[in-house]
Structure 1
Amino acid sequence: MRASTTAALLLFAIAAFAQPDPESRSRNQPVEPFRIIGNVFYVGASDIASYLIVSTQGHILIDGGFVETAPMIRANIEKVGCRLTDVKILLNTHAHFDHAGGLAALKQQSGATLMASERDAPLLERGGKNDPQFGNKFLFPPVEPDRLLHDGDRVTLGGSTLTAVMTPGHTPGCTTWTMTVRDKGRDYHVVIVGSPTVPNYKLIGNKMYPNIVNDYRHTFAKLKSLSCDVFLGAHGSYFNMQDKLARKARGDTRNLFIDPNGYRQFVAAAERDFQKELKRQQTAR
């Protein structure tokens, strides 16, 4: 009785936090899941990314998308021959409503352990309230992490090890995930970028996040130091996912997600955008 009541309350909360705005829906269209490389699968939406790391001992799921994305993620997990209840670990890139919105539902439905960065944990627990950029504009169902992560912490399950690389700025605890995957007799360095973007962010005089500029600078230095073969990210647009899938559909047989040049170009472009926005705000003071 108690479990059914909890589930009913969660469903009510999910309905209350559903995001009907056109921009959200345009980035949240259903797509067919696919294997990226090795035991790494894409199970997210058209731009809102979610990744499944598969093993015989259970699976790791990275990011929960919007509230509305959670059912798509579950369906995509099933389409690749897995079950949500076999997901043992939930991870998060950052505590925004388009990446953490579905975590509460996915955690409740799977029974998985949620691991998240210590600096983003309060934002997850508040459901996005008092966000240092958005205030209370983009809320999501609150969710409590079971394990708090720090820079360099490792998460291991079934022979796969992911390393949490703290890349703060976009959120205080924004996390980039790295791992080594073996495919066709070769090891590949996989990087799943959290987010280094500055979408209308207040960089100067942000009382809720006074160290944001230094955090971004740290993040770009860290991202430039990483070894990357397979370039992925919290949004499919970061690594031109739709274009790569279209090229594959036209007969390109290469694994286009092996894209170290694309990774370097993305990081360089994001850093230029940050520097440009920082200079604009400094000049406007």
Structure 2
Amino acid sequence: MQINAESKALLKQVMARLDGFLANPWTAEMEPYQIIPNVYYVGNKYVGCYLFQTQKGLVLIDCAMQETAYLLLESIRKAGFDPKQVRTLFITHGHIDHCGAARLLQEYTGCEIYFPQGDLFFLTDRRDLILREERVPEFQVTGTFSYDMAMDFGNFRFRPVHTPGHTPGCTSFLIEADTEQETLLLGLHGGLGLNGLSLAELEANGLPLSLQQEYLGSLERIIKEPVDIVLPSHASHYPGDYFAIAAQNDGSGKALRVPGMWQTLIGDRIRQAKELIKRDAQAAG
């Protein structure tokens, strides 16, 4: 199978942006902010990283690249916490921009690391799938996720959901967050990127062609969840200016409780996935 022009252009765009931040990590810097009480955005302009102050210690979802780790640590400090107190790191999938700083963080904090079962082979015999794998030191995985079983951290319950496609093990999170007034449902999709999902790219990478349909199917299931607040893994995936909306938030979450935001985010990717599947079908004749 030949990789079509659209897929080549998308991959080139994704890798160019990644390489730009790897070469000039300071350009990704942004101020952390409180989303709701006990939940903070501590990522950068490129990758979303989220800090949770739970009753069982600090939990971090994704850690971005090793090159931007100093930005992550500084954002945690600015949010009012000692980064050495991070106890648990959840990694959504095995690409460099989500797990690149895992070893550094593990050495610095001694944190436990939970990783998707379906992406474990990225860390062993297929390190090339990490993307720029030479920049990702090996790290120790504490455990993998048990899907659709909530991990209870007291004031937060993290429910990992298997959403394959972007990678075989890509994991999303539906998070029940207790506030003084109510319990909110936070939604974080672990990997909405369409790069690598054409049939030709899947074949070239030695990955199951079924991932394309699995991606669409998982989106069609998770879109039904009654998410109150969206935590994007990449703000650029939202079809609008997510950071502009977040800038209006006062830390209570009110500005981010946009009706239908989850459905807008996921629905846009369903549309793009269907277009990709249609292009592949037309190419196959």
1:60 & 1:137 partners in 2: Cα distance?
25
Per the alignment, residue 278 of structure 2 pairs with 279
- Report the AA paired with residue 148 of structure 1: T
1:137 & 1:252 partners in 2: Cα distance?
36
The alignment status of 1:168 with 2:168, answered yes or no, reads no
1:31 & 1:128 partners in 2: Cα distance?
33
Q: Give a deviation string over 1:53-83, Cα, whole Å, max 9, x none.
A: 1035411011010111211111111112211
Per the alignment, residue 155 of structure 2 pairs with 159
Contact persistence 1:196–1:219 (CA under 8 A): no
The alignment status of 1:143 with 2:148, answered yes or no, reads no
Tell me the secondary structure at the aligned position of residue 40 of structure 2: strand
Per the alignment, residue 93 of structure 1 pairs with 92
- Report the AA paired with residue 282 of structure 1: A
Tell me the secondary structure at the aligned position of residue 65 of structure 1: coil
Alpha-carbon offset, residue 138 of structure 1: 7.7
After TM superposition, the score normalised by the length of structure 1 is 0.82
Partner of residue 182 from structure 1, selected from 171, 178, 184: 178
Tell me the secondary structure at the aligned position of residue 59 of structure 1: strand
**After the TM superposition, which residues 20-169 of structure 1 pair with which residues of structure 2 at under 5 Å, given as runs?**
21-22=19-20, 25=24, 29-123=28-122, 125-126=123-124, 129-131=127-129, 140-169=136-165
1:20 & 1:163 partners in 2: Cα distance?
29
Contact persistence 2:21–2:28 (CA under 8 A): no
2:168 & 2:277 partners in 1: Cα distance?
17
Per the alignment, residue 243 of structure 1 pairs with 244
Per the alignment, residue 260 of structure 2 pairs with 261
2:216 & 2:144 partners in 1: Cα distance?
24
Q: Which structure is richer in relative contact order (CA contacts within 8 A, separation 6 or more)? A: 2
Alpha-carbon offset, residue 261 of structure 1: 1.1
Contact persistence 1:127–1:142 (CA under 8 A): no
1:49 & 1:108 partners in 2: Cα distance?
21
Contact persistence 1:27–1:48 (CA under 8 A): no
1:253 & 1:76 partners in 2: Cα distance?
19
Distance change (3 Å), C-alpha of 1:122 and 1:53: same
Calculate the aligned-residue CA RMSD, in Å.
Answer: 2.8
Alpha-carbon offset, residue 231 of structure 1: 0.8
User: Which is further off, 25-34 or 41-50?
Assistant: 25-34
After TM superposition, the score normalised by the length of structure 2 is 0.82
1:192 & 1:145 partners in 2: Cα distance?
21
2:20 & 2:234 partners in 1: Cα distance?
17
Unaligned residue ranges in structure 1 (runs of 5+): 1-18
User: Which is further off, 197-206 or 232-241?
Assistant: 197-206
**Identity %, equivalent residues:** 22
Contact persistence 2:95–2:131 (CA under 8 A): no
**After the TM superposition, which residues 217-236 of structure 1 pair with which residues of structure 2 at under 5 Å, given as runs?**
217-236=216-235
* Aligned structure 1 segments of 4 or more residues deviating by more than 6 angstroms: 134-138, 251-254
Unaligned residue ranges in structure 2 (runs of 5+): 1-16
1:27 & 1:211 partners in 2: Cα distance?
38
Partner of residue 192 from structure 2, selected from 190, 196, 200: 196
Alpha-carbon offset, residue 281 of structure 1: 1.7
Q: Give a deviation string over 1:208-262, Cα, whole Å, max 9, x none.
A: 22321232133112222222000112112234332214445xx999722213412
More helix by share: 2
1:59 & 1:111 partners in 2: Cα distance?
12
Alpha-carbon offset, residue 135 of structure 1: 6.8
Contact persistence 1:60–1:87 (CA under 8 A): yes
Contact persistence 1:231–1:257 (CA under 8 A): yes
Q: Give a deviation string over 1:135-168, Cα, whole Å, max 9, x none.
A: 7678522223111113213323343220101111
2:131 & 2:70 partners in 1: Cα distance?
27
Tell me the secondary structure at the aligned position of residue 191 of structure 1: strand
Contact persistence 1:90–1:115 (CA under 8 A): yes
